[in-house]
Chains A and B, each alone.
Chain A
Amino acid sequence: MSHIPEELSYTKTHEWVRTNGGEVLVGITDFAQEQLGDLTFVELPEVGDVLDAGFEMGSVESVKAASELYSPVSGEVVAVNELLESEPGLVNEDPYGDGWMVRIKMSTEPEGLLSADDYQALTEA
């Protein structure tokens, strides 16, 4: 059973979102890191990049495969977790903490995010 914190929001593409005022912190879920296995490379957007909700913002690679990261909200990237460049395994070890990926300043209210219960239902489907 993967860990799905109650207080976070989620996307169908397995990103988690922690809202704090007008900003959100984003990473990938425990379920996603478990499915991917050991991450070996994380490609993130750059600070200052403007993102559209639902569009690709980067990618993650595991030993066996690569998959895309999608921005859960629209806005501007204000910080990225630079530690992941040399230590992508942090995402496996602590997906909701040290393995965070980007901080985004929202330009509009988020839409269509899932609650923890809805996300759990998705992972069990």
Chain B
Amino acid sequence: MPDLKTTPLTQWHRAQDAKMAPFAGWDMPIQYSSILSEHTHTRSQASVFDICHMGEFLISGTKARETLSQVVTHNLTTLAPGRCRYGFLLNPQGGIIDDLIVYCLADDEFLLVVNGARTEVDFAWIQDHLGAQASIADISEETAKIDLQGPQSFEVLNQALNADFTHLKYFGFTRHEFAGAPLLVSRTGYTGELGVELYLGPDNALALWDLLLADERVKPAGLGARDTLRLEMGLPLYGQDLDENHTPAEAGYEALLTSEADYIGKGKDRDVREKLVSVKTPGRMSPRHGDVIRYSGQDVGVITSGSFAPSLGCGIGLGYVRADKAEHNDPYSIDKKRSLLPLDQVPLPFYTQGTARMKLQSS
């Protein structure tokens, strides 16, 4: 596949004989040893993930805050420098173009982190709709991203960088230095565990990766484990659980829609025709993407993400169900070839022992 993009770590993955696959147009590691062991290691110790495929944009200008507020759902009026926030980019119908994190770097400067597969679409959309008083730059090429996730991640990071990051609160970030160049350390992640997302220049990515892995508590984890980890937390994946045909309210994010700005899609973003439900199976047989969800003899929805949950020992899934069939206590089911797979609706997260929000400093 000649067109696949590579990260500064692709050669390292290949040298480790990782199982590679195309993801979002990139040649990415799916697993190094096994998804189950990488999953368990992340929940118990710490793992590094190559997440260089994500896109990063810089929005700056004296009116950056006001004009960006017209384009994304994030409530930026209450976002202070050093903090970041999750939200959406919507089309006029309230459908989700992408989900993204907005970092407030300074009062007039914001960093947007978007899904790799959506980078070009997002950039064109934001550029077209951003007011003249702010400018956007795509800095994806100049930005590498490594996630360090797991209950021991902060001990590892503090030791590796000879610094103390325990003051960072959940969804807080700080600017640091690595090898004489800027390093952004963000206490965020996609696993449900305590951890950081690290942004730096591509030239230093391998050195940081090697440094973190020099700690015996750290192992590399691929996108396979990243997917089971995020699904156990009920975190949606764009392209599966989020898309242009569904609103934030349908995906369960109505409470996030607090911005008073007149952003694109406002109002429509609360429309609900279907609801994203979270379901669990009684045994190891698991729901799969595309499985039809049935309720009292009717097809009522489709599984968008489904997998075995390594931390729970059963199958779990997310799926869109007709709104009038989304709120009840009776189980759904999937017709598997040789059996009927019952699905119990359960609250999120599926996995409740995650350390992501753990308090690091008494204050």
Chain A residues in contact with chain B, CB under 8 A? 37-38, 40-41, 43, 56, 58-59, 61-66, 85, 88-89, 92
Contact indicator A63/B338 (Cβ below 8 Å): no
Question: Given the complex of chains A and B, what is the CA–CA distance between A58 and B285 in angstroms?
Answer: 12
Q: Which of B283-341 contact A (CB under 8 A)?
A: 283-286, 288, 307-308, 310, 315, 337-339
The yes or no answer to B36 lying at the interface (CB within 8 A) is yes
Q: For residue A14, give the distance in angstroms from its CB to the closest CB of chain B.
A: 17
- Residues of chain B contacted by A85 (CB below 8 angstroms): 284
Contact indicator A64/B284 (Cβ below 8 Å): no
The yes or no answer to B228 lying at the interface (CB within 8 A) is yes
- Residues of chain A contacted by B283 (CB below 8 angstroms): 41
Question: Given the complex of chains A and B, what is the CA–CA distance between A85 and B310 in angstroms?
Answer: 15
- Residues of chain B contacted by A38 (CB below 8 angstroms): 34-37
- A sample of 29 inter-chain contacts (CB < 8 A) reads A37-B19, A37-B34, A37-B224, A38-B34, A38-B36, A38-B37, A40-B36, A40-B284, A40-B310, A41-B284, A41-B286, A41-B308, A41-B315, A43-B285, A43-B338, A56-B337, A58-B338, A59-B337, A59-B338, A61-B285, A61-B286, A63-B35, A63-B36, A63-B228, A63-B307, A66-B286, A88-B284, A89-B36, A92-B34
Question: Given the complex of chains A and B, what is the CA–CA distance between A118 and B19 in angstroms?
Answer: 25
Question: Given the complex of chains A and B, what is the CA–CA distance between A37 and B32 in angstroms?
Answer: 11
Contact indicator B285/A63 (Cβ below 8 Å): no
Pick from B285, B288, B310: contact of A65, CB below 8 A: B288
> A40-B310, A64-B224, A89-B36 provided; 6 other pairs, C-beta below 8 A?
A37-B35, A43-B285, A59-B338, A63-B224, A63-B307, A64-B227
- Residues of chain B contacted by A65 (CB below 8 angstroms): 288
Q: For residue A85, give the distance in angstroms from its CB to the closest CB of chain B.
A: 8
Chain B minimum-CB-distance residue to A89: B36
The yes or no answer to B31 lying at the interface (CB within 8 A) is yes
Question: Given the complex of chains A and B, what is the CA–CA distance between A18 and B346 in angstroms?
Answer: 44
Question: Given the complex of chains A and B, what is the CA–CA distance between A56 and B276 in angstroms?
Answer: 33
Question: Given the complex of chains A and B, what is the CA–CA distance between A59 and B336 in angstroms?
Answer: 11
* The 9 residue pairs across chains A and B that have the minimum distance between CB atoms: A40-B308, A41-B284, A38-B36, A63-B35, A38-B34, A41-B285, A63-B308, A38-B35, A40-B284
Question: Given the complex of chains A and B, what is the CA–CA distance between A61 and B310 in angstroms?
Answer: 13
Question: Given the complex of chains A and B, what is the CA–CA distance between A90 and B105 in angstroms?
Answer: 50
Q: For residue B291, give the distance in angstroms from its CB to the closest CB of chain A.
A: 10
Q: For residue A1, give the distance in angstroms from its CB to the closest CB of chain B.
A: 12
Contact indicator A64/B285 (Cβ below 8 Å): no
- Residues of chain B contacted by A64 (CB below 8 angstroms): 35, 224, 227, 307
- Residues of chain A contacted by B338 (CB below 8 angstroms): 43, 58-59
Contact indicator A66/B308 (Cβ below 8 Å): no
Chain B minimum-CB-distance residue to A65: B288
- Residues of chain A contacted by B35 (CB below 8 angstroms): 37-38, 62-64
Q: For residue A86, give the distance in angstroms from its CB to the closest CB of chain B.
A: 8
Chain A minimum-CB-distance residue to B281: A41
Residue from A66, A85, A88 with most neighbouring chain B CB atoms (10 Å): A66
Chain B minimum-CB-distance residue to A38: B36
Question: Given the complex of chains A and B, what is the CA–CA distance between A64 and B35 in angstroms?
Answer: 9
Q: Which of B268-287 contact A (CB under 8 A)?
A: 283-286
Contact indicator B308/A61 (Cβ below 8 Å): yes
Question: Given the complex of chains A and B, what is the CA–CA distance between A66 and B286 in angstroms?
Answer: 9
Question: Given the complex of chains A and B, what is the CA–CA distance between A40 and B310 in angstroms?
Answer: 8
Q: For residue A93, give the distance in angstroms from its CB to the closest CB of chain B.
A: 11
Contact indicator A61/B34 (Cβ below 8 Å): no
Question: Given the complex of chains A and B, what is the CA–CA distance between A59 and B315 in angstroms?
Answer: 15
Q: For residue B94, give the distance in angstroms from its CB to the closest CB of chain A.
A: 32
Question: Given the complex of chains A and B, what is the CA–CA distance between A33 and B228 in angstroms?
Answer: 19
- Residues of chain A contacted by B307 (CB below 8 angstroms): 63-64
Contact indicator B286/A40 (Cβ below 8 Å): yes
Question: Given the complex of chains A and B, what is the CA–CA distance between A40 and B314 in angstroms?
Answer: 9
Question: Given the complex of chains A and B, what is the CA–CA distance between A18 and B89 in angstroms?
Answer: 57
- Residues of chain B contacted by A40 (CB below 8 angstroms): 36, 284, 286, 308, 310
Residue from A59, A63, A66, A89 with most neighbouring chain B CB atoms (10 Å): A63
Question: Given the complex of chains A and B, what is the CA–CA distance between A93 and B285 in angstroms?
Answer: 20
Chain B minimum-CB-distance residue to A64: B224
- Residues of chain A contacted by B224 (CB below 8 angstroms): 37, 63-64
Chain A minimum-CB-distance residue to B225: A63
Question: Given the complex of chains A and B, what is the CA–CA distance between A56 and B337 in angstroms?
Answer: 10
